[in-house]
């Protein structure tokens, strides 16, 4: 067992499958353990490289094993799949993780800190509550439309639903249903407001988040998401690598020495990509108030490209700027004559 330099872990909910290799890539052991046994095993095991897929529980386990002196690496599951040999099972998956980690050009995922995971959890809960609130609003609109009442689009009219119900004659049971939906709508709105306050408090204590807020068009939601998902940005070699990881660079389909660039690839985290594109559109809507090199570039682009294309290009620039601020510990300065981070 002292010859083991690399251990691959196939993560599970209750059971974990380990595959150990020496420095020559030869299998040394295979082991199936429970969660408690896994911690005890690595607490007593000599320091080595531990590799696992970046999935549920991986970041917590990575921090735990790193505390025992092990070097922990996380790999995206899509990069492990090509190394699975023969029929799939848990031990074969653990071996494939070792094979993937042995490649010199393999890319790894930086383990998240506990605060980053908490902020990410807040965002997921907020998104879920917003979806539930939208469903409640749509149901109210739909039920009223079935009884001949057409309300304007949006949530503002839902807030004065009792006054709308008083103006029309509706079945008592339908009014009860609508009142329940209205109460549910108010509850969801209050929960979303509380989460927004909690995120604002966390963002106020986050140095990177405050620096990201200096980017034009970027608000608290986008800044906190970038802070939680990007971290210090050192896992990316350059700003373009980060933009490519969230699908904001052209998709390439080249052959025979002839380059062919298509639309954006739309790979990676679609939530970050959506938020950055929204930030770009907000910046473009307020372009008459903006100044500096970035505003001049956007105005020049709008003279020869469609606004949707410019929005994606600007989102790409915002992503690169965010990476630059994270790695260089600076702030955005849009004054004329100064180079904005890119």
With beta carbons less than 8 A apart as the criterion, state whether 266 and 278 touch.
Answer: no
What mean pLDDT comes out for the span 78-84? 91
pLDDT score for 300 = 93
Closest CA to 221 of 238, 209, 239: 209
Higher-confidence position of 130 and 252 = 130
Burial code (b: 16+ CB inside 10 Å, e: under 16) for 264-279 equals bbeebeeebbebbbbb
Higher-confidence position of 332 and 124 = 124
Q: What is the pLDDT of residues 241-258, one digit of tens each?
A: 889 888 998 888 888 888
pLDDT score for 335 = 61
pLDDT-derived band of residue 201, with 50, 70 and 90 as boundaries? confident
pLDDT score for 303 = 92
What mean pLDDT comes out for the span 4-29? 91
With beta carbons less than 8 A apart as the criterion, state whether 84 and 92 touch.
Answer: yes
pLDDT score for 206 = 84
pLDDT score for 339 = 42
Q: What is the pLDDT of residues 103-113, one digit of tens each?
A: 988 888 888 88
What mean pLDDT comes out for the span 33-56? 92
β-partners of residue 32 are 17
The pLDDT of residue 137 is above 60: yes
């Amino acid at each position: 067992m002292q010859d083991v330099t690399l251990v691959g872990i196939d993560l599970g909910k209750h059971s974990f499958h380990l595959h150990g290799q020496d420095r020559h890539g030869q299998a040394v052991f295979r082991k199936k353990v429970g969660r408690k046994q896994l911690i005890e095993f690595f607490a007593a095991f000599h320091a080595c490289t531990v590799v696992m897929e970046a999935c549920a529980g991986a970041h917590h386990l990575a921090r735990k094993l790193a505390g025992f002196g092990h070097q922990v690496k996380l790999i995206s599951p899509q990069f492990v799949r090509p190394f699975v040999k023969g029929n799939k099972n848990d031990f074969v998956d653990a071996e494939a993780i070792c094979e993937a980690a042995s490649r010199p050009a393999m890319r790894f995922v930086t383990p998240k800190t506990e605060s980053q995971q908490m902020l990410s959890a807040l965002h997921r809960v907020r998104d879920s509550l917003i979806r539930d609130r939208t469903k409640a609003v749509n149901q109210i609109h739909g039920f009223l439309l079935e009884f001949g009442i057409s309300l304007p689009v949006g949530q503002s009219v839902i807030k004065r639903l009792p006054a709308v119900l008083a103006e029309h004659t509706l079945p008592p049971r339908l009014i009860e249903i609508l009142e329940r939906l209205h109460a549910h709508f108010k509850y969801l709105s209050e929960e979303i407001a509380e989460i927004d306050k909690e995120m604002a408090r966390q963002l106020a204590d986050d140095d990177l988040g405050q620096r990201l807020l200096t980017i034009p068009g970027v608000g608290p939601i986008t800044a906190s998401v970038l802070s939680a998902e990007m971290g210090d940005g050192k896992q990316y070699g350059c700003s373009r690598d980060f933009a490519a990881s969230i699908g904001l660079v052209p998709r390439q389909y080249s052959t025979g020495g002839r380059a062919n660039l298509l639309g954006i690839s739309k790979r990676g985290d679609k939530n970050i990509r959506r938020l950055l594109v929204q930030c770009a559109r907000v910046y473009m809507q307020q372009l008459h108030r903006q100044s500096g090199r970035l505003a001049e570039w956007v105005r020049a682009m709008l003279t020869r490209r469609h606004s949707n294309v410019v929005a994606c290009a600007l989102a790409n620039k915002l992503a690169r700027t965010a990476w630059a601020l994270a790695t260089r510990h600076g702030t955005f300065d849009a004054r004329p004559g100064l180079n904005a981070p890119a």
